[in-house]
Amino acid sequence: MASAPGKVILFGEHAVVYGHPAIAAATDQRTVVEVDCCGDRTTVNGFRIHDRFHSYLLTSVERVWKRPDAVRIQTEGGVPSASGTGSSAALTVACVAALRRLQGHEDIPGLAQAAFEVERATQGGGSPTDTSTSTAGGGIAISSSLDPPKVGERLWDVGWHVPGEERSWTVERIDMPPLTVVLGNSGVKGRTDEQVAKVANAAKKNAVVRDSLAEIGALTREAVPALRKKDWAAVGALMDKAHSRLHTLGVNHPAVETLIQAVRAAPGTLGCKITGAGGGGSMVVLTDRPAVAAKAIEAAGGTAYGVTLGSPGARLEKMAAVEP
């Protein structure tokens, strides 16, 4: 049995796919996966595994387990799905950690690499930001290894090693002060694969989109010292700028923008932006007055919840003892 946290991307979503840096942190929402070997057919929560409903779990079994024996998988999700807060990464990392444990592997960089391969193969693109944050916990900075941000202890390199598509990213530990932010979920389900593909198409055709990706990278670099100094006013201002660049990429959604506008008008707000892939999903607010921000989000039709950033990463969980 293993568990893994959700994540919030503070800076750099989408740009990180193109090698620019991103900063992300694990949340205190967790997904737990229990894997049990061996049954006659592979099931998820008692149902036969199906690519339509269990795509990440099916890819985990195919790519990591690779044995003819069937496994029984039980999941308990604490991260809201398709909300931009890392539900598929948490599910993938926890499942891969449990499968690897059954195979006798417990090394963390190996988990980060295997979970990234599962996520990228399932989504058909993307970076290791979500799976590395969920694996490492705390806060991380990540960027293409051609351009490492060198902001903290180097944790691991993660790559995609398919011939003709080789990519590699460096993951570093970043000091993440225990920070509470408010998330506003629009309730519109955003699909990461669709948003990543949309930005890729736009970047091919449009120089403004390519410039926005580079500008997001520059804002992320500026955020590193601001976070370190706990200069929340500066961090908030950078979040506002990042939001407008994400809007230019085409990943904003009217339902999310409604929450952004509502929270910007609320006292105490220091900054806010889309978090994650967009196209719906969630926004994140840095605020001096979390209760006020939450109320503004709810009044604008969203679901608000506070999360504490910097929670522990993936870990193996003890099974409940069986009564004799």
Which residues of the shown chain bind ligand MEV in the complex (CB under 6 A)?
A: 9, 13-14, 16-17, 126-127, 129-130, 192, 196, 276-277
Residue 16 DSSP class: G
User: What backbone torsions phi and psi does residue 107 show, to the nearest 5 degrees?
Assistant: -75, 140
| Residue whose CB is less far from ligand MEV, 61 or 277 | 277
**Residue 117: what are its φ and ψ, rounded to 5°?**
-60, -40
User: 299 φ, ψ to 5°?
Assistant: -65, -25
Smallest distance from the beta carbon of 154 to ligand MEV, in angstroms?
19
Q: Is the peptide bond before 38 cis (omega within 30 degrees of 0)?
A: yes
Cβ-based nearer residue to ligand MEV, 31 or 42: 31
Please state the closest distance from residue 190 (CB atom) to ligand MEV, in A: 9
Shortest CB 145 distance to ligand MEV, Å: 15
Strand 70-76 with 43-44, pairing: parallel
Between 237 and 277, whose beta carbon lies closer to ligand MEV? 277
Residue among 133 and 287 whose Cβ is closer to ligand MEV: 133
Output the smallest distance, CB 37 to ligand MEV, in A: 30
How far separated are the first and last CA of the chain, in Å rounded? 21
- C-beta of 125 vs 312, nearer to ligand MEV: 125
What is the nearest approach in angstroms of ligand MEV to the Cβ of residue 127? 3
In the complex, minimum distance from the CB of residue 101 to ligand MEV, in angstroms, rounded to a whole number: 25
Q: Where are the beta strands (DSSP E) in 55-153?
A: 70-76, 139-144
Ranges assigned E (strand) in the chain: 2-11, 22-39, 43-44, 47-48, 70-76, 139-144, 154-160, 167-174, 179-185, 269-275, 282-287, 303-309, 315-316
Q: Compute the Cα dihedral for 259, 262, 265, 269 and give only its sign.
A: negative
Reduced to 3 states, what is the DSSP secondary structure of residue 43? strand
State the residue number with the nearest CB to ligand MEV: 126
Which helix (DSSP H) or strand (DSSP E) does residue 193 occupy? helix 192-205
Of 42 and 192, CB closest to ligand MEV: 192
CB of 289 to ligand MEV, least distance (A): 27
Rounded to a whole number of angstroms, the minimum distance from the CB of residue 192 to ligand MEV is: 5
Asked whether 249 and 15 are in contact (CB, 8 A), the reply is no
Reported in sequence order, the residue ranges of 56-176 that DSSP labels E, i.e. its strands, are: 70-76, 139-144, 154-160, 167-174
